[in-house]
Amino acid sequence: MAQLNINYDNTKGMINKNIYGHFSEHLGRCIYEGFWVGEDSSIPNTKGIRNDVVEALRNINIPVLRWPGGCFADEYHWKDGVGPRENRKKMINTHWGGVTENNHFGTHEFMLLCEMLDTEPYVAGNVGSGTVQEMSEWVEYMTMDGESPMADWRKENGREKPWKLKYFGVGNENWGCGGNMRPEYYSDLYRQYQTYVRDYGENKIYKIAGGANIDDYNWTEVLMKYSTPFMDGLSLHYYTIPGHFWKGKGAALDPSEDEWYKTMKKAFWMDELITRHSAIMDQYDPDKNVAIIVDEWGTWFDVEPGTNPGFLYQQNTIRDALVAGVHFNIFHKHHERVQMANIAQTVNVLQAMILTDGSDMLLTPTYHVFDMFKVHHDAAYVPVEVSSPVYSNDEREIQQLSVSASKNEQGELNISICNIDPNKEVPLSISLRGLTDTPSKVQGTILTAEENNAHNTFKDPDTVKPEKMEGLDLSGETLNVQIPAKSVSVITVSAK
Ligand code: AHR
């Protein structure tokens, strides 16, 4: 038996919808094929961007989209990606498969994509192999109104008015693919580069420094010590990898319970990572002016057999859905410090929402979690007291339920519940204080499956899809329900 205690009237801060953000890199088939098919493609498109993908993503209200990388960002030279496409300089995408990049998807195409998705752009600049001037001119190109060399060039290239750009990242993984720097060195470079990331007119840039890899707490310490006044956000990257990064990560479709357990255990680690990075940040920034921006997270498995190892294409199962749900519950808990998160990556790469094959497209279990959890966007955080059985495997154990709750402007309470045990359902009793005098109705949506590796294919795209939750029994202040094994649920309690 599991028990939740929730006080309907007790809210504490807000959940920033930007934690439901996305990341799309020039990597494998994410940008090319996933979004960009070109104007002459037989796949229905608008100015080269495929319509089916845009339509599906609009449904989950993506709040912010990070681009162009990732590791690609620190070798991307934006000037090669503007102007007539046929004249654009080609480059080699050395990080991701050594393929030739034709630069057909550049700044104008990305900004158009954001307009089509109705999402905020988050652009990652090049520190590793780019100059201060190059970064500075990119911001001028995108945001300067009136007359200036870059604004004039943008107009020549077909865009009269500047774009609105809020989020700008100064480098990516500068401890690794972004230049193999020491934190002291990067911190100084960050201070220098960000100085020339200017606010033009009304456009105000929110500056994000490249943050730590996983549990590199020293990186956070150094950045906070030397650069706090110059940052709005500091990033954090952590991927859920059941195995070993170099020696075999594990297969996306592995049905074994051992892999399941390791994955869940690693997913829960995000809580500790945020807690410890936050504690360091609290010392330098007790008022929480600098946010944690988890701009890369998600599962990372071995690529699907027979696919290009540099393209990071993996299938997506009910296990991924659980990982997503657990992460959101963790981000909700840390809503005061975590102001944005960007899953890696939107289409065809790592923990994707969408997979494509030519003109075919499917929605993954992870997509459905984003859809179900959109009720939490910009909602008030409601603390939950959780008493849960444990899910154990040999001597190791983790809490079986991951839970969080929020209340929206209409007064609806949304409770998201992940049962990470692949075998055991659990009876759940939810005590809802503060509801007694208000007649209420309750409804729920659930995502679950029979097999540990249940997933959607182009032939069977609806194997894993949300269903109406049955058996919700509300009586007075108490809601009783049976939570199936390996399930993600969202229960809505509303005053009539
Ligand atoms: O998302 C794939 C890669 O993972 C990104 O390019 C990089 O930033 C990280 O190591």
Q: Between the CA of residue 51 and those of 20, 54, 113, 351, 369, what are the distances in Å?
A: 21, 5, 10, 21, 22
Are 481 and 430 in contact by the 8 Å Cβ rule? The answer is: yes
Q: Is there a contact between 240 and 300 (Cβ–Cβ < 8 Å)?
A: yes
Q: Which residues contact 55 (CB under 8 A, 6 or more apart)?
A: none
296 belongs to the catalytic site: yes
Q: What SS3 state is found at 367?
A: helix
Strands 291-299 and 233-240, bridge-based pairing: parallel
Q: What is the pLDDT along the chain (496 residues), one digit of tens a residue?
A: 999 999 988 999 999 999 999 999 999 999 999 999 999 999 999 999 999 999 999 999 999 999 999 999 999 999 999 999 999 999 999 999 999 999 999 999 999 999 999 999 999 999 999 999 999 999 999 999 999 999 999 999 999 999 999 999 999 999 999 999 999 999 999 999 999 999 999 999 999 999 999 999 999 999 999 999 999 999 999 999 999 999 999 999 999 999 999 999 999 999 999 999 999 999 999 999 999 999 999 999 999 999 999 999 999 999 999 999 999 999 999 999 999 999 999 999 999 999 999 999 999 999 999 999 999 999 999 999 999 999 987 667 899 999 999 999 989 999 999 999 999 999 999 999 887 666 578 999 999 999 999 999 999 999 999 999 999 999 888 999 999 999 999 999 987 5
387 in Cβ contact with 93 (< 8 Å): no
Q: Please say whether the beta carbons of 292 and 276 come within 8 A.
A: no
| Contact residues of ligand 1, CB 6 A cut-off | 25, 69-71, 172-173, 296, 344-345, 350
Report how far ligand 1's centroid is from the alpha carbon of 71 (Å).
6
Burial label, 245 (beta-carbon count in 10 A; 0-12, 13-18, 19+): exposed
> How far is ligand 1, taken at its centre, from the CA of residue 93, in Å?
13
* 395 contacts: CB under 8 Å, gap ≥ 6: none
Count the neighbouring beta carbons within 10 Å of the beta carbon of residue 189: 20
Ligand 1: centre distance to CA 80 (Å) = 22
Crossing angle between the packed helical segments 132-143 and 183-195, to the nearest 10 degrees: 40
Note the Cα 18 to chain centre separation in Å. Answer: 9
**Is 120 a catalytic site residue?**
no
Do residues 354 and 362 make contact, with C-beta atoms less than 8 angstroms apart? Answer: yes
* C-beta separation of 364 from 370 below 8 A: no
Pocket of ligand 1, candidates 30, 177, 213, 301: which has the most ligand atoms within 8 Å of its Cβ, to mutate?
177
- Catalytic member of 296, 336, 467, 477: 296
The model scores a pTM over 0.95: yes
**How many residues does this entry show for the chain?**
496
Parallel, antiparallel, or unpaired for β 167-170 and 206-213? parallel
Pocket test for ligand 1, best of 67, 237, 300 (most atoms within 8 A of CB): 237
User: Which atom of ligand 1 is the closest one to the Cα of 350?
Assistant: 1
What is the rounded distance in angstroms from the CA atom of residue 418 to the CA atom of residue 326? 7
Domains of the chain: 2-9+382-495 (2.60.40.1180), 17-378 (3.20.20.80)
With b for 16 or more beta-carbon neighbours within 10 A and e for fewer, the 107-143 pattern comes to bbbbbbbbebbebbbbbbbbbbebebebbbbbbbbbb
Q: Which residue has the tokens 């894993």?
A: 464
Distance CA 493, CA 475 (A): 12
Do the Cβ atoms of 348 and 34 come closer than 8 Å?
A: yes
| 274, two tokens | 């945020």
What number is the ipTM of this complex? Answer: 0.99
Contact (Cβ atoms closer than 8 angstroms) between residue 178 and residue 235: no
Give the Cβ contact number of residue 452 at 10 Å.
Answer: 19
Helix axis angle, 183-195 to 217-227, nearest 10°: 40
CA triplet 251, 254, 256: central angle to 5 degrees?
Answer: 135
Residue tagged active-site, from 120, 137, 173, 259 = 173
